[in-house]
Amino acid sequence: MWLPWTKYRRPPRDKVTPRLLWHRSLEGNLKSIREELGHPYDLVIREFQLGSGQTRPAAAAWINGLADEAAIDQHILRPLMFEAGNAAGPGELADHALSLGGLETTGDLRQVATALLAGVTVILVHGAARAYLASTPGWPTRALAEPPSEVALRGPRQGFVEDIRVNTTLLRRYLRTPDLRLDSMTIGQRTRTPVIIAYIAGVVNPRIVEEVKARLGRIQIDGILSDNYLEELIRDAPYSPFPTIGNTERPDVVAAGLLEGQVAIFTDGSPFVLRVPTLFLQFFQTPEDYYLNYQVATLGRWLRLAGLTVALTLPSIYVAVTTFHPEMIPPQLLITIAAAREGVPFPMVIEALIMEFAFEALREAGLRMPRALGQAMSIVGALILGQAAIDAGIVSAPTVVIVAGTAIASFLLTHPDIVAVSRLIRFPLLLLAGTLGLLGVMAGLILMHLHMLSLRSFGVPYLSPLAPLNLSQARDTLALWPLWSKTARPDMFTWQKSRRQAPGNRPGPPKKRRRI
């Protein structure tokens, strides 16, 4: 995004001058293809004679590894070399010889080069100024597996992979409706990354789709390597720690989102799919919420909300209350804390900061270190930091308990983006608590809430349905209700009233006794 007050002008796009090569001779064409690609080592060119007993030279070219060689053998080389009839002119090959689904022709050298890099096999015939582009993609992909970041005990065990074709297929397997729209774009001048915008026509709010397309269309960048590149380039509040775009590795989650009017953005090369608009409370949902008993799921959701509250505020409230307001602590507890703090050399804030730092360091190290070192790390963490630090009188035991409690609470947060929020905001709150006491904590929390209230995700207020309050939907977000009771589709994303099921789905015995 260019800042509005800069004088920077976008340079004009260069005019595409199609290089309509094309020599009459096969040799010439092959040469220009080689030159266009820069003589790569993995470009395979197979020259052959068209049809049996004919002497019309032809050639097939593909990139080794990107194309499926078995398909090329069976559907291109074999028919062209042995079965292409005498009469078959270059223009009739498609009708009679090439038994492939995806087939195009082009005369543009640039397009030929791009196609080769997307796994297409190019077929050239001597004397023809056009090339056949046969779709034979065949690069290695990962097997479908359960995503480690979003595990569900009960629910489908499929996750997205790096290949965008597989990912959209997985989505189609859930939504067998012609209304499912998959609009494609290519972003990144050098990576030419395919990006697909998925939504359900008739459910989605068309203005949100337009906005998504407009924001993606504005991007000018050399490369898109993962979904986060896109996320950072289309976010509503680029400086905020709060995520306004959700992501998921699960096709069922994407399908559920589309059914509620969300738009999904697939990026080739990333198993994560972006979901917009995404609201704050959605980061407290897990896929399992909708696969388990709704009462259990409600409990889980409240636990996660409480987890965020505790992870954000527990250390700062502890520091504020012990150093500024000891009258608020029950006498027994106060005596225990005071006894533990006899002889501790640091102020309470510093002590808490030391322990928080140690915990964050362990967590960060645990994420990046090779697994073999994990055991050594946990010994260092548990023994040295916990027990030894207390015995040495450097920190007090209650502080360790508080930091551990904070850690446990933050384990409740399943979404990495929200964990990041709790870590980023915890430390400023702790400093405020150490300098201004509860007054500082409250000021910090009020600022945080004001900031959250100012956020929007693709036009939807970030804290809705709580602020602005929408009672019927706040009811659905704060607790889970049986499926049959939710007849209305949430209108936060669709911006209009709509139904998702008929009333009267509640199971139960028939009202009137049937005669037998």
CA dist., res. 55 & res. 48, Å (int): 9
Using rule CB under 8 A, residue 10 touches other proteins = yes
CA dist., res. 170 & res. 252, Å (int): 9
CA dist., res. 187 & res. 232, Å (int): 14
CB count within 10 Å of CB 483 equals 13
Shortest separation between residue 226's beta carbon and other proteins, angstroms? 20
Using rule CB under 8 A, residue 17 touches other proteins = no
Taking residues 206 to 225 in sequence order and writing x for each that binds other proteins by CB under 8 A, - otherwise, the string is: --------------x-x---
Using rule CB under 8 A, residue 393 touches other proteins = yes
Q: Are 76 and 94 in contact (CB under 8 A)?
A: no
Using rule CB under 8 A, residue 102 touches other proteins = no
Kindly indicate which of the ranges 37-45, 253-261, 332-340, 503-511 contains the residues binding other proteins, using the contact rule CB under 8 A: 332-340
- Which parts of 150-189 interact with other proteins (CB under 8 A)? 189
Q: Which tokens hold the place of 18?
A: 């199609």
Interface with other proteins (CB under 8 A), residue from 199, 280, 324, 458: 324
Interface with other proteins (CB under 8 A), residue from 216, 299, 390, 401: 390
CB count within 10 Å of CB 182 equals 14
- Which parts of 422-451 interact with other proteins (CB under 8 A)? 431, 434-437
CA dist., res. 366 & res. 371, Å (int): 8
**Shortest CA distance to 435 belongs to which of 349, 352, 357?**
349
Total chain residues near other proteins (CB under 8 A) = 41
Q: What is the DSSP string of 120-171?
A: EEEEEETT-S-EEEEE-B----PPP---TTS--SSS------S-HHHHHHHH
The residue (of 343 and 504) whose beta carbon lies closer to other proteins is 343
Using rule CB under 8 A, residue 327 touches other proteins = yes
CA dist., res. 310 & res. 445, Å (int): 13
Shortest separation between residue 439's beta carbon and other proteins, angstroms? 9
Q: Which tokens hold the place of 159?
A: 């996750």
Q: Which residue has the tokens 């690069």?
A: 139
The residue (of 191 and 473) whose beta carbon lies closer to other proteins is 191
Taking residues 287 to 306 in sequence order and writing x for each that binds other proteins by CB under 8 A, - otherwise, the string is: --------------------
Kindly indicate which of the ranges 123-131, 208-216, 323-331, 447-455 contains the residues binding other proteins, using the contact rule CB under 8 A: 323-331
Shortest separation between residue 216's beta carbon and other proteins, angstroms? 17
Shortest separation between residue 348's beta carbon and other proteins, angstroms? 6
DSSP class of residue 45 equals E
Q: Are 286 and 274 in contact (CB under 8 A)?
A: no
The residue (of 220 and 378) whose beta carbon lies closer to other proteins is 220
Pairing state between β 498-499 and 488-489: antiparallel
Using rule CB under 8 A, residue 201 touches other proteins = no
Kindly indicate which of the ranges 42-50, 78-86, 338-346, 505-513 contains the residues binding other proteins, using the contact rule CB under 8 A: 338-346
Q: Is 489 in a helix, a strand, or coil?
A: strand
Contact residues for other proteins, defined by CB under 8 A:
3, 5-6, 8, 10-14, 189-190, 220, 222, 322-324, 326-327, 331, 334-344, 347-348, 390-391, 393, 397, 431, 434-437
